[in-house]
Structure 1
Amino acid sequence: MTAVAAAGALVPLVFSPVATANPAPPPPYVDHVEWAKWGDLSSLRVYPTVAGRQASVIAPTDVGEAWTEVLRLSPDADMPGMWDQFVCHWDYAERVQPGKTSWNLEPWRPAVDRNTLLATACNPGGTEEPF
């Protein structure tokens, strides 16, 4: 405990905790998803809610809840590499490209390590969709 002199006497300073962290907004984090075609290739477009965008920046640990919402809306999204692409988008999309309309996940992309995902802007094995 620290003390300060006040009118010649030592008065202890008592600090109360102040909530400085922004709490994560509550779900839902995903508004909707839709499958689209890019030539012959499939893409799952994930449309985050405002809360999802905020939570991805404020509370990255909520990624599991968000992925559960994706799978609830599109159970067939549970394929190799899709979870990793989603985590990459969750962790970085709003920091790198805020407000991007959708986070696009493609089952045809190779399942790669986190460093490769980051180096390829979450799009390993090819460029991002042009739309």
Structure 2
Amino acid sequence: MLRGAVLAGATLALLAVAGCGGEASPPAPAASSAPAVVDGSTGEPSPSEPVVYLPPPYIARTVWAQTAVGPSLQVYPTVAGRRVTDPAAQGKAWREVVALSARYGRYSATSPGMRAQFDCHWVWARAVQPDKPSWNLEPGRPVVSEDQMIAARCNPGAPEE
């Protein structure tokens, strides 16, 4: 899980205004489908938000595509993957991505930086763009700090493809 998944309210507000990947932000999701607020000191959902437990699978499929920024692993979450807030679901979803994704030349889901991009999408894209069709992870993107990843709206090094 991203370290201290909830940052200062200003960061979330900035992302809500900017939108993940530069697209217009949809209306805020209902409280029952929004990711739970996580207490940075414990990594657990805050008591003010209900935890939504939904069974896997969380990922419907993955597809490698060639884009202007190079190879892109397109991750398509299921409805459960978009709505679950159980803290254990994030790791389970990543394991599904790895299991569903074949190698693409020299690249794989486990290439450097891919997990950090996935974690950013899991936490932020689900909150800011809950209906985004796919979360696109590119092995050619630079490996950056968590703060840089969030500032780049989960797409460090180049705009979203």
- Provide the TM-score with structure 1 as the length reference: 0.77
- Give the counterpart of 1:85 among 108, 112, 117: 117
Query: How far apart, in 2, do the equivalents of 1:38 and 1:60 lie?
Result: 32
CA RMSD of aligned residues (A): 1.5
**Is 1:45 the equivalent of 2:74?**
yes
Letter aligned with residue 91 of structure 1: V
Aligned residue pair count: 108
Query: Greater helix percent: which structure?
Result: 1
Query: How far apart, in 1, do the equivalents of 2:88 and 2:143 lie?
Result: 21
Query: How far apart, in 1, do the equivalents of 2:97 and 2:67 lie?
Result: 20
Higher relative contact order (CA 8 A, sep 6+): 2
1:103 is matched with which residue?
Answer: 135
- Provide the TM-score with structure 2 as the length reference: 0.63
Moved over 4 A (4+): none
Query: How far apart, in 1, do the equivalents of 2:112 and 2:158 lie?
Result: 16
1:26 is matched with which residue?
Answer: 55
Letter aligned with residue 69 of structure 1: E
Instruction: Give me the identity figure in percent.
Output: 50
Are the structure 2 counterparts of residues 106 and 67 from structure 1 closer, same or farther at C-alpha, using a change threshold of 3 Å? same
Alpha-carbon deviation of 1:21?
2.9
Q: Which runs of 5+ in 2 are unaligned?
A: 1-48, 103-107
Are the structure 2 counterparts of residues 85 and 61 from structure 1 closer, same or farther at C-alpha, using a change threshold of 3 Å? same
Are the structure 2 counterparts of residues 53 and 41 from structure 1 closer, same or farther at C-alpha, using a change threshold of 3 Å? same
8 Å CA contact retained: 1:110, 1:124 = yes
Query: How far apart, in 1, do the equivalents of 2:128 and 2:52 lie?
Result: 22
Are the structure 2 counterparts of residues 40 and 104 from structure 1 closer, same or farther at C-alpha, using a change threshold of 3 Å? closer
**Is 1:67 the equivalent of 2:94?**
yes
Report the 3-state secondary structure (helix = DSSP H, G, I; strand = E; otherwise coil) of the residue aligned with 1:77: coil
8 Å CA contact retained: 2:65, 2:73 = yes
Report the 3-state secondary structure (helix = DSSP H, G, I; strand = E; otherwise coil) of the residue aligned with 2:99: helix
Query: Greater strand percent: which structure?
Result: 1
**Is 1:124 the equivalent of 2:156?**
yes
